[in-house]
Structure 1
Amino acid sequence: MPRRKEDTSVQPESLDLGHLALFVGMRVNDVVLEEIHAAGFTGLRYAHGFVFQHLLGGPRSISELAGLLEVTQQAASKTVAELERLGYVEETRSDDARVRRVRLSARGQAAVDKSRAVRAGLEERLRRSHGSRALEETRKLLADVLDSLGGTEAVRARKVRLPR
């Protein structure tokens, strides 16, 4: 007798809050990457954002980046080299010739600006389709949940890491 194919689809409404929030965030990040790639900022990946967040305040050494990202210096150096090849970061002068410091290049800052504009546009789209009140209530609820789970300080200090 032939076996019936089981329906394995998932209804988003049935997901727990953590998964639903994760999947919304992942989709937002996909949309942002798609739009910044279409705008000419090619080669960027989600993980690069974790490096960018630590360069927004100014130049950092590879050692500092490795510590902030909680990765080895080799891993940080490899990512920085990739971002340099793509034109998003550049080496900058250091008082100590043994220390390699990098900063966002003009192209890197432009990618950040474009990303922020895309996120603002996406938020406006959500506001139009769901209403300002619903969006603000959702933001407050998610911020409260983040705080209740002990994640607020990591966000404030820009110490959010890639998922393990």
Structure 2
Amino acid sequence: MTAPEPIGEDLVLLFTALSATTQAEITAAIDRAGFGDLRPSDGFLVQHLHHGPATIGELATKLGITAQGVSKIVIEMERKGYVSRTPAADDQRRREVELTQKGWDAIYATRKARANVNRELRAALGPGAQAFLDQVHQLAESTGALAALTERRLRPQ
């Protein structure tokens, strides 16, 4: 059995810690912007609605969870005012889920919070920021993480 890497050299732990602390910072900023009832996991649903409405079944397939699970999330987000459900134009039995103005406002607040955190991180890296970003991009690409991100295949954990 090999000895574990020292914490300061364990990329998985370092990326996990960085992800947790930056997510907490973003969550706090979103809360200050008036969207404190959103959870980070709500973003996994929202990412599939920003291109237009989708049915519960379509969302379930994209999220890799049951239609019942998606319905529960949608009902909660509808109660909070972030999404609405309307009958589909081609079939009144189907309901399409779409973002409300409050949902869009939350997206813009999240983007602003992420941009601020990104600026802080780049400033902390100093002149080596671009080289570091290039290396992280290479890692993300070679591990398939970048494809999962851009194809919106990331799942809530």
Q: What is the TM-score normalised by the length of structure 1?
A: 0.85
Following superposition of structure 1 onto structure 2, how do residues 7-156 of structure 1 map, counting pairs within 5 Å? Answer: 12-14=7-9, 16-95=10-89, 96-131=91-126, 133-156=127-150
Richer in helix (by share): 2
The 8 Å contact of residues 36 and 42 in structure 1, kept in 2 or not, is answered as yes
Residue pair 1:59, 1:92 contacting (<8 A) in 2 also: no
Residue 129 of structure 1 deviates from its aligned partner by 3.0
Q: Match for residue 3 of structure 2?
A: none
Unaligned stretches of 5+ in structure 1?
1-10
Counterpart AA for 1:98: R
CA positional deviation for 1:130: 2.5
Structure 2 unpaired stretches of 5+: 1-5
**Alignment partner, residue 6 of structure 1:** none
Give aligned-pair identity as a percent.
34
Moved over 6 A (4+): none
Counterpart residue identity of residue 61, structure 1: T
SS in 1 for 2:85: strand
What is the CA distance between 1:23 and its match in structure 2? Answer: 1.8
TM-score normalised to structure 2 length: 0.89
What is the deviation of 1:22? 2.0
| Structure (1 or 2) with the greater strand fraction | 2
How far, CA to CA, are the matches of 1:105 and 1:135 in structure 2? 37
Please report how far the alpha carbon of residue 29 of structure 1 lies from its aligned counterpart in structure 2 after TM superposition: 1.3
Task: State the structure with more CA Rg.
Answer: 1
Q: Quick one: distance in 2 between partners of 1:12 and 1:135?
A: 22
Q: Secondary structure at the match of 1:97?
A: strand
Report the count of equivalent residues. Answer: 151
